[in-house]
Amino acid sequence: MTLRLVVAENPEELAACASDRIMDAVAGRMAPVLGVATGSSPLGIYAELARRVTFGSNPLARASIFALDEYVGFSADDSRSYAAFVRERVVRPLGIDPARVFVPNGAAVDADAEAARFEAQLISSGGVDVQVVGIGSNGHLGFNEPDSPLNSGTRVVTLSASTRSDNVRYFDAIESVPTQAITQGLATIGRARAIILVAQGEHKARALAAALFGPVSPECPASVLQLHADVTVVIDGPAAQHLPTVWS
């Protein structure tokens, strides 16, 4: 594993470091493919990327975008869908052609077939140049919950109680949080040529330490990143607090 670790002093530095790495990964690509995560952690990065696109010629304006996951049951026009997040936070600000944006269709009648279709689309795109990922407080990656097979592809998964409760902040009540999602699998994510893991806050500290320095095991899905050749971890001080001292 080549692991670069940046412990940023503030949100601006975090966004700038991650954006620098993304720009490096797409430099010289005529048709770059960017993988995006949802959640609060990468918001500053997307804002910084949009600022860079606005202020110059930028390969990201030509990028295709692939999402990590989507809730089962939500169509793209539902404001709670990840498709809406990607549209509002990434596609519009970066001025990307919506025809080059790929998010699993959570409203598909056959969710398993939709997952297979998405995996095939990803492969035929030539693969992701750089994938942004967050980490769940239980170590999930995308929506690959603990006990996900390390060799998994895009599929329908059942969300854990802890993930539904972490994400209730985006809903009016726990009953409204979907119970299933379509997620890129751990092997799917691992095929990205470069990965940027972003995390902020002490509630991510234990999961990060397990992911980066614990055993590679389905118990901590994000530990699969240890098998990848090009991972950049960009986090804040509170999220770094349980990493070995030599790293933090």
Q: Which of 6, 46, 50, 69 binds ligand GLP (CB under 6 A)?
A: 69
Closer by beta carbon to ligand GLP, 81 or else 163 = 163
Closer by beta carbon to ligand GLP, 69 or else 119 = 69
Does 185 help bind ligand GLP (rule: CB under 6 A)?
Answer: no
Taking the C-alpha atoms of residue 159 and residue 4, their distance in angstroms, rounded to an integer, is 30
Which residues in 1-60 contact ligand GLP (CB under 6 A)? 37-41
Q: Exactly one of 114, 129, 145, 236 is catalytic; name it.
A: 145
Does 163 help bind ligand GLP (rule: CB under 6 A)?
Answer: yes
Q: Exactly one of 58, 105, 138, 167 is catalytic; name it.
A: 138
Q: Is 175 a catalytic residue?
A: no
Does 68 help bind ligand GLP (rule: CB under 6 A)?
Answer: yes
Contact 181, 136 (CB under 8 A): no
> Would you say how long the chain is, in residues?
248
Helix (H) or strand (E) holding 7: strand 3-8
* Number of residues binding to ligand GLP, judged by CB under 6 A: 14
Taking the C-alpha atoms of residue 189 and residue 133, their distance in angstroms, rounded to an integer, is 9
Burial 84-107 (b: 16+ CB within 10 A, else e): bbbbebbbebbebeeebbbbbbbb
In angstroms, give the least distance from the CB of 70 to ligand GLP. 9
Q: Exactly one of 69, 114, 119, 236 is catalytic; name it.
A: 69
Cα angle 237, 239, 245; round to 5: 65
Does 177 help bind ligand GLP (rule: CB under 6 A)?
Answer: no
Q: Is 145 a catalytic residue?
A: yes
Does 231 help bind ligand GLP (rule: CB under 6 A)?
Answer: no
Closer by beta carbon to ligand GLP, 66 or else 143 = 143
Taking the C-alpha atoms of residue 66 and residue 162, their distance in angstroms, rounded to an integer, is 26
Q: Is 228 a catalytic residue?
A: no
Give the number of other CB atoms < 10 A from CB of residue 232: 22
Which residues in 98-157 contact ligand GLP (CB under 6 A)? 134-136, 142-143
Q: What are phi and psi of 40, to 5 degrees?
A: -80, -30
In angstroms, give the least distance from the CB of 90 to ligand GLP. 14
In angstroms, give the least distance from the CB of 195 to ligand GLP. 12
Q: Helices 11-26 and 43-54, interaxial angle, to 10°? A: 60
User: Which of helix, strand or coil describes residue 246?
Assistant: coil
Q: Is 69 a catalytic residue?
A: yes
Residues 6 or more apart whose CB falls under 8 angstroms from that of 98 comprise 87, 91
Residue ranges that bind ligand GLP, judged by CB under 6 A: 37-41, 68-69, 134-136, 142-143, 163, 167
Q: Hey, which residues are catalytic here?
A: 69, 138, 140, 145
